[in-house]
Amino acid sequence: MASAILKSRPRLLVVTDDASRGGTAHVAYQLATSLCTTFEVHFACQHNKATAGALIELESEGIYLHSYELTEAAPWRNPLQSTFSSDQALDLLEASDPDAALKSAAKRCGIPFISVINILLEDCRVRFGDLFDAVVAPLAYADALIFACHAHLRRFETILPGFPVPTSVILNSRPDMFFEPRNIVARKRLRTELAVDDSALVCLTTARIEPHKGQSRIVKALALLVDQKRGANIRLVFVGTGRADHVDELQNEVLALGLESQVTILGSRTDIVDLLDASDIFILPSKSEATSLSIIEAMAKALPIVATAIDGILELIDEDCGILLPLEEDASIRFIAQAVDSLNCDKSLRARLAHAAREKANLFRVRRAAERYVDLLSEVLSRRPRSNRSFSRSISPIGTIVDFANPAQAWNILKNGWSISESEGVWSEGAFSTLELRTDGQKGQRVRLAIELAPHLPPSWSTQETAVMVDGRLVERWKFTSPGRQTRTLDIDVTEDSPTIRIRLEHSRAVSPLALGFSQDPRDLALFFYRIKISLPD
């Protein structure tokens, strides 16, 4: 009976475009876990060291994992990938064959989907630039759009008035472990690790270290209090990763202000619950937030909150359970200093805000959000029953030309070891690169690929070489002795109808222009592909 019940569950594919363990990733992990009793959940994300622990936990819950490769080091690639790489999305959808999916390519194969918009910044048009319309267009095929706060839904309606998709707000939530009573043993252990005694006021911030999260404002506020001889017992603890230059900038500011004995930057941690138990105040002077997961966690652990009065934060706290900050930087720094000083001096204020925060946190338990999602997904499935599905991939017929300046073509043919599309084509990136080209050729035919390319051949090099493998067999060794645009031809015997031709290029001398002193480009380059003409031999 149990197995029959499990088999009857509809399939749900949850996809996250967060390459690490940021807030969007946490929302996706929690969504997958909370829905796995109702749905057969498949989960797709970047598999890396940062996500390894979370993925092990998901798999232990019976969730099926799929790799969805993203580039955290080059995040500008990810909107291109999610917008144009429809074949990769179809591969993912076919592997999970869901009944409802968070993926716009589902439209091509008849699968209903919803899109969860965890955060929508005011400058989203500027951030996406020319890609904005292409990113937004697939959302019109969604069965529903879910926003993590009312403020960002209102922003969406202002940016795109009359958008033809039903919208809902499901506030973020956190699991029960954050609602457990404060652990005195953990508090003592962590404060010993942090080298702070019972008289210290520990101010915690858990957020990615970057300018818009406002960690620098907290450091400057502490400097104000120290100058006023009112901050000797205050300790700042920052938890979170960030770009190396942002972390270095924060550390340098701490050193410049002489606060290294009062500020600790811990980096990524998995013991957030214990760190909350060890802390006295939570501070987040962010410039933009949805319903912040870190604030909900701190509220659940009965910490008074000091945070900016913006967007989704105002849907979490008010003056009964926190101290609200202005957005403007200089005023924010002064208000942080005043708030910390007041909470340091007035234990009754601290206790009152902490109790109110803990009570309000009950509105953000994971069970409430999960019930909303179950109702919504079930309603979508009732309107869009399972039907015949087609996972057909893009085809490049014989007689056509594949233009790698076109990102839709580039992202569906270039698989590994390629950079982003440029105005004329795309560079290989790294020691090898692979292509998958689907044609309408027939078994027994010979197909000719005329590839227009240019080698990365600096003046100090006499040659550049690339080994060409087709379906695992070495078929050519290209040797380049001159730079510039040129054509190389491959004749390939077709062994099946409508074949997929898999080509692997192994480059002998991929190197970056930065290493050669030509430019600041750090990519290891070998070949630039312009286009491929597909034909039958004469």
How far CA 538 is from CA of 202, 411, 475, in Å, comes to: 77, 30, 20
Amino acid at 420: I
Q: Are residues 97 and 229 in the same domain?
A: no
Q: Are residues 427 and 527 in the same domain?
A: yes
Residue 385, token pair as written in the block = 């029953």
Spatial contact of 141 and 163, defined as CB atoms under 8 Å apart: no
Q: Is residue 405 part of a domain?
A: yes
Q: Are residues 35 and 145 in the same domain?
A: yes
Residues contacting residue 421 through CB under 8 Å, at least 6 positions apart:
80, 404, 405, 406, 407, 410, 411
Question: What is the domain extent for residue 485?
Answer: 401-535
Bridge partners (DSSP) listed for residue 525: 511
Tell me which of 352, 383, 414 is where a domain ends. Answer: 383
Q: Is residue 280 part of a domain?
A: yes
Q: Are residues 155 and 218 in the same domain?
A: no
Q: Are residues 39 and 163 in the same domain?
A: yes
Q: Is residue 330 part of a domain?
A: yes
Residues contacting residue 378 through CB under 8 Å, at least 6 positions apart:
none
Q: Is residue 391 part of a domain?
A: no
Q: Are residues 356 and 371 in the same domain?
A: no
Q: Are residues 371 and 340 in the same domain?
A: no
Q: Is residue 129 part of a domain?
A: yes
Please report, for the domain that includes residue 449, its CATH number. 2.60.120.260
Give the C-alpha separation, 169 to 194, whole Å: 39
Q: Are residues 295 and 418 in the same domain?
A: no
In three-state form (DSSP H/G/I as H, E/B as E, the rest C), the secondary structure along 169-219 is ECCCCECHHHHCCCCHHHHHHHHHHCCCCCCCEEEEEECCCCHHHCHHHHH
Give the C-alpha separation, 254 to 223, whole Å: 9
Tell me which of 383, 411, 438 is where a domain ends. Answer: 383
Per-residue pLDDT of the chain (538 residues; tens, 9 = 90+): 223 333 478 889 888 876 665 778 888 889 999 999 999 999 888 777 777 888 899 999 999 988 776 555 444 455 556 556 667 677 777 777 666 655 556 776 778 888 888 888 888 888 778 778 877 888 888 899 999 999 999 999 999 999 999 999 999 999 999 999 999 999 999 999 999 998 999 999 999 999 999 999 999 999 999 999 999 999 999 999 888 899 999 999 999 999 999 999 999 898 999 999 999 999 999 998 889 999 999 999 999 999 999 999 999 999 999 999 999 999 999 999 999 999 999 999 999 999 999 999 999 999 999 999 999 999 988 887 666 666 677 788 999 999 999 887 888 888 889 987 788 999 999 999 999 998 888 888 899 999 999 999 988 889 999 999 998 899 999 999 999 999 999 999 888 777 889 999 999 989 998 888 888 888 899 999 999 999 999 8
Residues contacting residue 224 through CB under 8 Å, at least 6 positions apart:
231, 333, 334, 337
Q: Are residues 106 and 137 in the same domain?
A: yes
Q: Is residue 274 part of a domain?
A: yes
Please report, for the domain that includes residue 265, its CATH number. 3.40.50.2000
Tell me which of 335, 363, 391 is where a domain ends. Answer: 363
Q: Are residues 340 and 416 in the same domain?
A: no
Number of compact structural domains in the chain: 3
Q: Is residue 265 part of a domain?
A: yes
3-state helix, strand, coil in the chain (%, to 5): 40, 25, 35
What pTM, to 2 d.p., does this model score? 0.75
Choose among 367, 363, 214: nearest CA to 296. 363
E strand spans, 417-496: 426-427, 432-438, 446-455, 464-470, 473-480, 486-493
Q: Is residue 463 part of a domain?
A: yes
Give the C-alpha separation, 43 to 21, whole Å: 15
Q: Where do runs of H (alpha helix) occur along 213-243?
A: 215-227
| Residue 477 burial (C-beta neighbours within 10 Å; 0-12, 13-18, 19+) | exposed
Q: Are residues 436 and 448 in the same domain?
A: yes
Bridge partners (DSSP) listed for residue 202: 235
Q: Are residues 7 and 154 in the same domain?
A: yes
